[in-house]
Amino acid sequence: MATVETNTVTLTINGREITVPKGFSVVEAAAEAGLEIPVFCYEPRLGAGIGACRMCLCEIEGIPKLQTACTTPAADGMVVDSHSARAREGQDAVLEFLLLNHPLDCPVCDKGGECPLQDLTFRYGPGVTRMTLPKRTHDKPIPVSPLITLDRERCILCWRCTRFSEEVSGDMQLVAEHRGANSIITTFEGRPYTNEFSGNVTELCPVGALTSSPYRFLARPWEIQNIPTVCGACAIGCNTSATIREDRVTRVLSRNHPEVDEGWLCDKGRYAFGHLRSPERVTRNLIRGGRGLEAVSTTDVLDHVADRLRATVERFGPGSVAVLASGEQTNEEAHAWARLLDEALGGGVGVCGPEGGSWWSDLEPYAASISDLAGAGTIVVAGDADLGHRAPVLELWIRKAVGNGAGVFTVGPGATRLDTLRGATHVSAAPGTAHTALLEAAGGDGAPADALRGENAVLIWSGPMRSEVASVLAHVAHTSGCRVLRTPRAANEIGIAAAGLGTASPEAALELAESGTIKALVLLGADPVGDWHAGERWRNALARCFFALQVTGFQNDSSGWVTTIVPESQILEKDGTLVNLEGRVQRLRAAAKAPAGVSDGYAWAAELGSRLGVELPHDPPAAFADLAERRPAFAGLSWSGIGERAPLGERAPVGDAPAAPQVAPAAVPQTVVVGYRELMSGAAVDHTEALHFQRRRGIEIAYADAEALGVATGDRIQVTHDGHAVTGPALVQRGLRPGVVRLAARVPHVGPGAVAAVPAEAEDA
Amino acid sequence: MDPATAETLAGAVETRPQMPAPLPPDERSAPLRDRILAAVALYPEPRSALIPALRLAQEEYGWLSTEAFEQVADATGFTPALCKSVASFYDMYRLHPAGAHEICVCTNISCALVGAGETLREFSRELGIEPGSTTADGRFTLRTVECYGGCGWGPVVSVDERYHEPFGPDRVRPLLDELRGQPG
Ligand code: SF4
Ligand code: SF4
Ligand code: FES
Ligand code: FES
């Protein structure tokens, strides 16, 4: 049996000979061969087995005592039996022990029906308990946060949740206190678990101890349907399963795509579905008339919109209509609108999101894939804000890569979570100059330059994209050979640009509107007044337009300035495709039924098309086929070929060297304020109350500046920037560059500002 | 208590290395944060410094309060949760304020076999408190602990972090009398 081959081992499990790579544990070897060894604590995504639960006891020839298969490396010639009488006896005894204090309250437990403990109890264990003493009880339920509930007496102390908290997300907030049988899972003195990846522990917990609060007592596994779809809350596009009961989404679970999310979700993606049934959702078509907004039927609103758009082009000529998309529209919707603009409205302007432009697409030839991070030698993250706010799950990939030996460089004003990773090197750069610092570092001969030129280097830009930044990234990628992982702001910016909508910059569109060239504005999910730069100018532009239509899920700052409002279907209600930040085309499946009165976004656009004389394909699959025919980025793709776990297309060839970047030297003011868009923002979060506790409330201030002002963490400070003042508790950051003040803001902004302590008396008044 | 006082306590036998006695407050030159940072610098892994860091904080405050955990967390780069998780694993960190004298009785198996239960009951009776609590005057805290590693000389009792072994119930009264006679 022994071979000269050194990279594999061959062993026998339950009489089957199995060859596996060296380093596999017996549990992994068995799984590879399709043989089941019962486990609770072992979970491959948490790393090597730790032998905590003892459920995987097996008999191994030549070893007198039973061994835990999850901690025993497979070895050549090993003979394992997980079914022998002794192994069974051990497994049964362990199960009996695990149930000693377990309440066996399956009938009222949310995990019932999909619970590993329940399942294994049916197949292992004595079936009756010898425990006659009272079982241990605890207070219950314990709210670990507004999202997670702990029923402590159900816990079997497998340590999955604490290992996730410590090793995967690194937040170290969910821990075990005390020792042995007295151990309890807890946060520090009952404080809420605020990490944005917290919800993953509810999926990891193999029993009903940690469960999802919004899902509590809502459904039983036999009453639900799990619809495979993808998350649309950021551009990563984590694969999800939406649990549906009676047409409603009741929870969102991960659906492990090993190249995209490895089975992790952030809490925005997991919980923000709460907005779907918010009472504030727009569910009626509204037209502004003499007496304010009046509700009309879908047919009437379609007639009205078609009429107004036609009238705009008739009166002001072709090119007088602009579509501003938020970036969350499907490729099919974008395609429909692009065709409407081209074929019915004489060509118009399409803008995608406040960062707009096609700069992310310019980086296509250098694009990295998410899974490039897994084998990366070096990861450089540059930008002004935490990457976790822009593309959260990437942070978990980076943490894992660091565990595998990758080096990390962070370039920016500091105090991001990545700066403190083991072996991370921080290159301090004033806000707004991270790209300049990157250019300098990459062109020099220091450590960052070597690292970028080294094997498998990945560069990530964490911040709004501008043309100047894009040119620097392209230049650095071209000269050093690294790849760039793009982080567009919204779910489908790359797809929308590829579908031909949204190639103009917001600034250019605004100027056209101000100069009177654009006379009709169509807002697809976008709120330029509230969310975009120069909101006031957008407001004036909307007010002066001949026609302004808003397709939206919720009324917002722009709603008061438009003439027509149409309810928008949300991502979880749509069929279609999205392109994630790698360029992967993924399938969105309508999981929930939109509330009454809300038309499907694509169907509505197609209806509008037929009124404007453009025959659009009748449904998203047909639209995708049409898209594949017309747009090179989609060429060769087919709707049915995307599958449940979408593959990544071929990489575009790297072309000629891009033009040398022109970087204007920036004057750095004494106090510079960074306003960044935090993860827990946007309409979906605004209308999901359970998520609000995760918002960052503090204003980050550098240690030296806080000393100078005489403030400590928690003291009130006031920041003036971008024309307004914000007061909030200070969060003193030792790692932050002096002179920098950073806070969450609706409209990202970097610029001069001032900060002052707020005297306590002023606060009382 | 200084080592000399410990020596004079009835029948104190020092059979193994002792943890260094806490520094009296006036000898703690640097602020707590700096002392913790100095401890962190001694180890290749910051995590290894958690034990001494917690010890330093306990010296400072007498017990590990919310604030103490927050300070240790801030200085070591961990979270208060992780610090408390570590501290609560060990018996010699105090998660509650203790009396002027802390009496810990080992009730693990070896000591239990040679009468630790009686010693404990005697302490309980003499002090009028249950194990795990502190006398109303704040002078004595009585606790049970797991094995102190002195199993051959049980029952083992530690008084203000000094071992006394073997410690039968007959020694309870003299010890308390002596402690009561001390100032503080
Ligand atoms: S709460 Fe769940 S995941 Fe955490 S230790 Fe207990 S059983 Fe394991
Ligand atoms: S990381 Fe992005 S795609 Fe993944 S769950 Fe969160 S918001 Fe959704
Ligand atoms: S799975 Fe092996 S000990 Fe838990
Ligand atoms: S059992 Fe008491 S010291 Fe070991």
Comparing A333-342, A439-448, A640-649, the range with the smallest average pLDDT is: A439-448
Residues A141-155: tens digit of each pLDDT: 999 999 999 999 999
Q: Is 70 exceeded by the pLDDT of residue A1?
A: no
Interior angle at CA A67, CA A62 and CA A73, nearest 5: 85
Structural domains in chain B, CATH included, are: 32-89 (1.10.10.1590), 98-180 (3.40.30.10)
User: What is the crossing angle of helices B50-61 and B32-40, to 10°?
Assistant: 160
- Using the 8-state DSSP alphabet, how is residue A99 labeled? T
CB of A209 closer than 6 angstroms to any ligand 1 atom: yes
- Does residue A428 sit in helix, strand or coil? strand
Q: Compute the half-sphere exposure of residue A664: CA atoms within 13 Å on the CB side of its CA.
A: 7
Per the rule left: phi > 0, alpha: psi between -120 and 50, beta: everything else, A474 is alpha
More confidently predicted of A180 and A2 = A180
**pLDDT above 80 for B20:** no
Please check whether residue B19 is in contact with residue B6, taking contact to mean a CB–CB distance below 8 angstroms. no
On whether any CB of chain B is under 8 Å from the CB of A171, the answer is yes
A713 and chain B in contact, CB less than 8 A: no
Predicted confidence at residue B4, as pLDDT, reads: 45
Contacts of A540 (CB under 8 A, 6+ apart): A514
Q: Which residues of B touch A176 (CB under 8 A)?
A: 85
Per-residue CA distances from B111 to B150, B165, B168 (Å): 9, 10, 10
**Nearest chain A CA: its distance from B52 CA (Å):** 18
- A541: exposed, middle or buried (C-beta count within 10 Å: 0-12, 13-18, 19+)? buried
Tell me the CA–centroid distance for residue A149 and ligand 2, in Å. Answer: 22
Q: Which ligand is nearest to the CA of B105?
A: 4
Judging contacts by C-beta atoms under 8 Å, the chain B residues touching residue A189 are 66, 80, 84
pLDDT at B181 over 60: yes
With a 6 Å cutoff on the Cβ, whether A142 touches ligand 1 is no
Q: Is A210 in the pocket of ligand 1 (CB under 6 A)?
A: yes
Residues in chain A within 8 Å Cβ distance of B78: 172
Q: Read off the DSSP letter of residue A525.
A: B
Query: Which ligand lies nearest to the CA atom of residue A150 in the structure?
Result: 1
Inter-chain CB proximity B89 and A179 less than 8 Å: yes
Question: Residue range A370-386: average pLDDT?
Answer: 94
Q: Is the distance from CB of A524 to CB of A329 less than 8 angstroms? A: yes
Angle between helices A434-443 and A467-480 (to 10 degrees): 20
pLDDT tens for residues A186-201? 999 999 999 999 999 9
Tell me what the mean pLDDT of segment A26-39 comes to.
Answer: 95
If pLDDT is split at 50, 70 and 90, which confidence band does B13 have? very low
Q: Residue A352: CB partners within 8 Å, gap ≥ 6?
A: A325, A326, A327, A490, A493, A496, A497, A501, A502, A503
Mean pLDDT of B136-140: 95
The residue to mutate among B92, B111, B114, having the most atoms of ligand 4 within 8 angstroms of its beta carbon, is B111
Helix and strand numbers (H, E) in chain B are 8, 5
Q: Is the CB of B169 under 6 A from ligand 4?
A: no
> Chain B within 8 Å of A420 (Cβ-Cβ)?
yes
Assess contact for B76 and B46: CB atoms under 8 A.
yes
Does residue A5 carry a pLDDT above 80? no
Q: β-strands A239-245, B101-106: how paired? A: unpaired
Q: Is the pLDDT of residue A81 over 80?
A: yes
Give pLDDT tens digits for A725-735.
999 999 999 99
User: Inter-chain contact A172–B82, Cβ cutoff 8 Å?
Assistant: yes
∠ CA A178-A179-A183 to the nearest 5 degrees?
65
Beta bridge partners of A73: A25
**Sequence-distant (≥ 6) Cβ neighbours of residue A645 within 8 angstroms:** A239, A257, A258, A259
Classify residue A587 as left (phi > 0), alpha (psi -120 to 50) or beta: beta
CA A242 to ligand 2 centroid distance, Å = 14
**How far is A473 from A471, CA to CA, in rounded Å?**
5
Lowest mean pLDDT segment, chosen from A89-98, A122-131, A399-408, A735-744: A122-131
CB contact under 8 A, A171 and B85: no
Please give the share of chain A, as a percent, with pLDDT higher than 70: 99
| Chain A nearest C-alpha distance from B180 (Å) | 32
Q: Using CA atoms, how far apart are residues A348 and A606, in angstroms rounded to an integer?
A: 18
Q: Which residues of B touch A174 (CB under 8 A)?
A: 81
Label the pairing between strands A716-721 and A724-733.
antiparallel
Token readout for B179 is: 């402690």
Judge contact between A381 and A460, C-beta under 8 A.
yes
CATH T-level topology, domain A286-357+494-586+618-642: Rossmann fold (3.40.50)
Q: Which protein residue's CA is at the shortest distance from atom 7 of ligand 1?
A: A155
pLDDT given for residue A381 in this prediction: 96
- Mind listing the pLDDT tens digit for each residue in B21-56? 566 666 667 899 999 999 999 998 889 999 999 999
Mean pLDDT of A353-359: 84
How confident is the model at residue B14, as a pLDDT?
43
Assess if CATH 2.40.40.20 describes domain A672-757. yes
Are A261 and A239 contacting, i.e. CB atoms less than 8 angstroms apart? yes
Domain extent listing, chain A: 8-98, 286-357+494-586+618-642, 360-487, 672-757
Q: Judge contact between A482 and A452, C-beta under 8 A.
A: yes
Q: Is residue A636 over pLDDT 70? A: yes
The packing angle between helices A620-630 and A601-611, to 10°, is 70
Mean pLDDT, residues A295-313: 97
* Residue-averaged pLDDT of chain B: 87
B69-98 average pLDDT score: 95
Provide φ and ψ at A252, rounded to 5°.
-125, 130
Q: Which two structure tokens, joined as six digits, stand for B120?
A: 């404990």
Report whether pLDDT(A478) > 50.
yes
Pocket of ligand 3, beta carbon within 6 A: A 39-42, 49, 51-56, 68, 70
Whether the CB of A173 is below 8 Å from some CB of chain B: the reply is yes
Q: If you measure from the C-alpha of residue A680 to the centroid of ligand 2, how many angstroms do you get, rounded to a whole number?
A: 11
Query: How far is residue B176's CA from residue B100's CA, in Å, rounded to a whole number?
Result: 12
Segment A694-706 shows an average pLDDT of 93
Hey, is the C-beta of B84 within 8 angstroms of any chain A C-beta? yes
Residues in chain A within 8 Å Cβ distance of B82: 166, 172, 175
Nearest atom in ligand 2 to A392's CA: 1
Instruction: Sheet with A67-68: list strands edge to edge.
Output: A16-21, A8-13, A79-81, A57-60, A67-68
A173–B79 CB contact, under 8 Å: yes
pLDDT band of residue A465 (cuts 50, 70, 90) is: confident
Count Cβ neighbours within 10 Å for each residue of B51-78 and write b for 16 or more, e otherwise: bbbbbbbbbbebbbbeebbbbbbbbbeb
Confidence of residue A124 (pLDDT cuts 50, 70, 90): very high
Query: Which atom of ligand 4 is found nearest the CA of B148?
Result: 3
B45 alpha carbon – ligand 3 mean position (Å): 28
Closest CA to A138 of A125, A151, A119: A151
pLDDT of residue A380: 96
Contact indicator for A9, A22 with CB cutoff of 8 Å: yes
- Distance in Å, CA B74 to ligand 2 centroid: 30
Pairing between β-strand B162-164 and β-strand A585-588 as defined by DSSP bridges: unpaired
Q: Give mean pLDDT, residues A97-107.
A: 94
Answer whether B174's CB lies under 8 Å from B22's CB: no
Q: Residue B130: how many CB atoms within 10 A of its CB?
A: 8
Length of chain B: 184
- Closest ligand 3 atom to Cα of A57: 2
Average of per-residue pLDDT values in chain A: 94
* Alpha carbon of B17: minimum distance to chain A alpha carbons (Å): 25
Write down the pLDDT at residue A666: 77
Residue B171 pLDDT more than 80? yes
Which residues make beta-bridge pairs with A243? Answer: A226, A251
* Residues on chain A touching B89 (C-beta within 8 angstroms): 178-179
Average pLDDT of span A678-687: 96
Q: Do B79 and A178 touch (CB under 8 A)?
A: no
Of B10 and A442, which is predicted with more confidence? A442
- Would you give the distance in Å from CA B22 to the centre of its chain? 11
pLDDT of residue B35: 93
In this prediction, residue B11 carries a pLDDT of 44
Q: Point out the least confidently predicted range of A601-610, A753-762, B160-169.
A: A753-762
Whether the per-residue pLDDT at A357 is higher than 80: the answer is no
Give the minimum alpha-carbon distance from A201 to chain B in angstroms, rounded to a whole number. 17
Q: What is the CA radius of gyration of chain A?
A: 28
Greatest CA separation for chain B: 48
Contact B89 A166 (CB under 8 A): no
CA A127, CA B183: separation in Å to the nearest integer? 61
How far apart, in whole angstroms, are the C-alpha atoms of residue A73 and residue A59?
14
- Express each pLDDT in A226-257 by its tens digit: 999 999 999 999 999 999 999 999 999 999 99
Q: What is the DSSP string of B146-181?
A: S--S-GGGPSPEEETTEEE-S--GGGHHHHHHHHHH
A236 residue type, one letter:
I
CA distance to A78, A106, A272, A345, per residue, from A513 (Å): 75, 62, 34, 16
CATH fold of the domain at A360-487: Dimethylsulfoxide Reductase; domain 2 (3.40.228)
Report, as an integer, the average pLDDT of A482-494.
94
Q: Which residue of B33, B70, B76, B88 to mutate against A (max A Cβ within 10 Å)?
A: B88
Which DSSP helix (H) or strand (E) runs through A184? strand A184-186
Tell me the C-alpha distance between B139 and A556, whole Å: 64
**pTM (2 decimals)?**
0.93
Residue B144 Cα to ligand 4 midpoint, Å, equals 11
Residue B180 pLDDT: 92
Question: Which of these, A124, A63, A131, A123, lies nearest to A102 by C-alpha position?
Answer: A131
Predicted local confidence at residue A361, as pLDDT: 85
Nearest-Cα distance to chain A for B121, in Å, is: 23
Contact A177 B84 (CB under 8 A): yes
Comparing CB atoms, the residue among B66, B78, B82 nearest residue A189 is B66
Contacts of A466 (CB under 8 A, 6+ apart): A355, A357, A359
Could you tell me which residue, A65 or A450, shows the higher pLDDT? A65
The model's pLDDT over A512-550, given as tens digits with 9 standing for 90+, comes to 999 999 999 999 999 999 999 999 999 999 999 999 999
Q: Is A176 on the interface with B (CB under 8 A)?
A: yes
Choose which CATH entry (3.10.20.740, 3.40.800.10, 3.40.50.300, 2.130.10.10) describes domain A8-98. 3.10.20.740
- DSSP class of residue A354 equals T
What is the C-alpha to C-alpha distance for residues A707 and A723, in angstroms, rounded to an integer?
26
| Least confident among A415-429, A531-545, B105-119 | A415-429
